[in-house]
Chains A and B, each alone.
Chain A
Amino acid sequence: MSRLSVFSGAILAAFCLSSLAWPARGESVFEAISREVQVVYAQHQSAIVRIQAEDEHGRLSGSGFYIDPNGTIFTSYTIGGDTRNIVVCSGDSKLPAERLVGDARSGIAILKVKARTPFLVIGKSADLSVASPVIVIGYPMDLPATPTFGAVGGFDVKYLGRYLSPAYIRANVPVERGEGGAPLLNLKGEAVGILISPRENGTGCFALPIEAAEKVHADFLRFGEARPGWLGITVGKAPRDEEGPPEVREVIPDSPAAKSGLQKGDLLLGIGEKRIHSPEDVLDASFYLTAGDEVPLLVSRDGKETTLQARAVGIPAPLDALRILKDFAAHPGVSPVETIWKVNK
Chain B
Amino acid sequence: MDEDPRQVDNELIARTQAGDSSAFDELVRKYSARLYSLVYNMTSNHEDANDLLQDIFAKAYRSIKGFRGKSSFYTWIHSIGVNMTINFLKKRGRHFQLSLDDVDANIQNDKEFIESTSGSNPVREADLKELQQRLNEAMMKLSYEHRAVVTMFDIQGMPHAEISKILNVSEGTVRSRLFYAHRQLQNYLEEFREFRSPS
Specify which chain B residues have a CB less than 8 angstroms from the CB of A227 in the assembled complex: 93
Given A85-B183, A98-B184, residue A225 in contact with residue B172 (CB < 8 A): no
Q: How many A-B contacts if CB must be within 8 Å?
A: 21
A224 touches B94 (CB 8 A): yes
21 example contacts (A-B, Cβ-Cβ < 8 A) are as follows: A56-B172, A56-B176, A84-B176, A84-B179, A84-B180, A84-B183, A85-B183, A96-B187, A98-B184, A98-B187, A223-B93, A223-B94, A224-B94, A224-B141, A225-B93, A225-B94, A227-B93, A314-B91, A314-B93, A317-B87, A330-B173
Q: How far is the CA of A330 from the CA of B172 in the complex (A)?
A: 12
Q: How far is the CA of A98 from the CA of B184 in the complex (A)?
A: 7
Specify which chain A residues have a CB less than 8 angstroms from the CB of B187 in the assembled complex: 96, 98
Q: How many residues does chain B have at the interface if contact means C-beta atoms less than 8 Å apart?
A: 13
In this complex, the interface size class of chain A, counting residues with CB under 8 Å from chain B, is 10 to 19
Q: How far is the CA of A223 from the CA of B183 in the complex (A)?
A: 23
Specify which chain B residues have a CB less than 8 angstroms from the CB of A224 in the assembled complex: 94, 141
Using a CB–CB distance below 8 Å, which chain A residues touch chain B? 56, 84-85, 96, 98, 223-225, 227, 314, 317, 330
Kindly provide the distance from the CB of B93 to the nearest chain A CB, expressed in whole angstroms: 6
Within 86-121 of B, Cβ neighbours of A (below 8 Å) are at: 87, 91, 93-94
Specify which chain B residues have a CB less than 8 angstroms from the CB of A330 in the assembled complex: 173
Q: How far is the CA of A317 from the CA of B87 in the complex (A)?
A: 9
Q: Of all chain B residues, which has the CB nearest A86? A: B183
Q: How far is the CA of A98 from the CA of B138 in the complex (A)?
A: 13
Specify which chain A residues have a CB less than 8 angstroms from the CB of B172 in the assembled complex: 56
Q: How far is the CA of A84 from the CA of B185 in the complex (A)?
A: 13
Specify which chain A residues have a CB less than 8 angstroms from the CB of B179 in the assembled complex: 84
Specify which chain A residues have a CB less than 8 angstroms from the CB of B91 in the assembled complex: 314
Kindly provide the distance from the CB of A48 to the nearest chain B CB, expressed in whole angstroms: 24
Specify which chain A residues have a CB less than 8 angstroms from the CB of B93 in the assembled complex: 223, 225, 227, 314
Specify which chain A residues have a CB less than 8 angstroms from the CB of B183 in the assembled complex: 84-85
Q: Of all chain B residues, which has the CB nearest A317? A: B87
